[in-house]
Amino acid sequence: MTGPKSESITRQRWMAKKAARAAVAFGSVATGRLALVERLRLGPEVRVLTYHRFGDADREPFRVAAKSFEEQVRYLAERGLALSLSEFEQFLAGDLVPKRGASLVTIDDGSVSVHRVALPILRDHGVPAVLFTVAGAVGTGHGQDGSAAEAFVDWDELAEIAAGGIAVQSHSMTHRSMARLSVNEVADEAAQSRELLEGRLGGDVRSFAYPYGTRADYDAGTARAIHDAGYRCIFTSQHGAIGAGADPLTLPRVKIEGGEGMAMFRLAVAGGLDAWSVVDRSLYALQTPG
Ligand SMILES: [Zn+2]
């Protein structure tokens, strides 16, 4: 969920952002940065890929076309690069050495296109994934018209998603910025969403992804409250790779957007968008839609 304004952006803005992402990704190859990182890095890394919605849409960055998603999932499957949440946790603990390019597929929010489009593709290729869903929003938005907001999956669809190899984890109860809530409210968001998801689906909820996830949306206090509510891993929307022993309470991810080709995806998986963290830190205007 990214707010109604994010659904469509101007063509000019779309082109500017696409050009900037490509410049970061392809520039990192041109300058030899990737090769250098490869030689200098202390250990293997994993990238956590972030998706939101699926299907065809005109210039909606948070929606990836079915055909593109199928290509991306097949790419990961054929190379054995997709980790499950459990394998990712083993990696963080230093108990699993991943392949170069190993990735964890994550999807935020829980829109109906996750069930309709992403689930069959992931299932067909045997690629595990994580869905961070807004527990308090499950089943809402049905019957709305227009493209302003895609409805959330209902509990039956969520159960099918969980049965299909996707670990359903928490994206809070209400999708508010955690940094703007009191510590008690953050604790409630974390605890209630976990209890609700575990109660309805029977799985183990131990990972949390911050709504929005920019640096304005979390801090040490929110991390402590969520950790105290029983979560082991907390994900932000900051870009970057994760090494074994990384802080499990502020884990970066890499955003996969619509309208980009396979060359861009391969680079993102290989670390070409890690440098986008500079944008995360400084140029909010480019990152924040609307
Ligand atoms: Zn969200």
Characterize the bridge pairing of strands 242-243 and 45-51. antiparallel
Q: Which of 127, 15, 18 is nearest to 70 (CA)?
A: 127
How far apart are the two ends of the chain, measured CA to CA in Å? 13
Ligand 1 centre and the CA of 210: distance in Å? 7
Report, as an integer, the average pLDDT of 179-202: 98
Q: β-strands 233-239, 251-255: how paired?
A: parallel
Distance CA 148, CA 131 (A): 21
Find the mean pLDDT for residues 96-109: 95
φ, ψ dihedrals at 108, nearest 5°: -100, 150
DSSP-derived secondary structure letter, 149:
S
Find the 172 Cα to ligand 1 centroid distance in Å: 9
- Going by C-alpha positions, the residue among 257, 254, 248, 172 that lies closest to residue 217 is 172
Q: How far is the CA of 2 from the centre of ligand 1 (A)?
A: 6
Query: For residue 127, what are its two tokens?
Result: 């690629």
Average pLDDT for 71-77: 97
CA of 178 to the centre of ligand 1 (A): 12
Chain centroid to Cα 3, Å, comes to 16
What distance in angstroms lies between residue 106's CA and the mean position of ligand 1's atoms?
11
Per-residue tokens: 137: 């929003």
Element (DSSP H or E) covering residue 133: strand 129-133
- Domains in the chain, please, with CATH? 4-287 (3.20.20.370)
pLDDT of residue 43: 74
Distance 94 CA to ligand 1 centre (A): 29
Considering the chain, what is the average pLDDT of its residues?
87
- Nearest-angstrom CA–CA distance, 11 and 277: 24
38: CA distance to ligand 1 center in Å?
A: 32
Q: Are 274 and 242 in contact (CB under 8 A)?
A: no
Instruction: Provide, rounded to the nearest whole percent, the portion of the chain with pLDDT above 90.
Output: 67
Q: Ligand 1 centroid to 289 CA: how many Å? A: 13
Q: Please indicate whether residue 22 or residue 48 has the higher confidence score (pLDDT).
A: 48
Q: How far is the CA of 95 from the centre of ligand 1 (A)?
A: 30
What is the residue whose two structure tokens read 């929110």? 222
Centre of ligand 1 to C-alpha 24, Å, is: 24
Range in 19-33, 131-145, 218-232, 236-250 with the lowest mean pLDDT: 19-33
Question: Ligand 1 mean position to 11 CA, how many Å?
Answer: 23
More confident residue, 22 or 225: 225
More confident residue, 128 or 149: 128
Residue 109 Cα to ligand 1 middle (Å): 5
CA–centroid distance, 92 to ligand 1, in Å, is 24
Average pLDDT value for residue range 229-239: 96
The continuous run of DSSP H or E covering 73 comes out as helix 66-79
Cα–Cα distance list, 262 to 55, 73, 101, 179, 269 (Å): 16, 11, 15, 35, 10
Q: Does the structure show a pLDDT above 80 at 155? A: yes
Query: Does position 248 have pLDDT exceeding 70, yes or no?
Result: yes
pLDDT reading at 26 higher than 80: no
Distance CA 288, CA 290 (A): 7
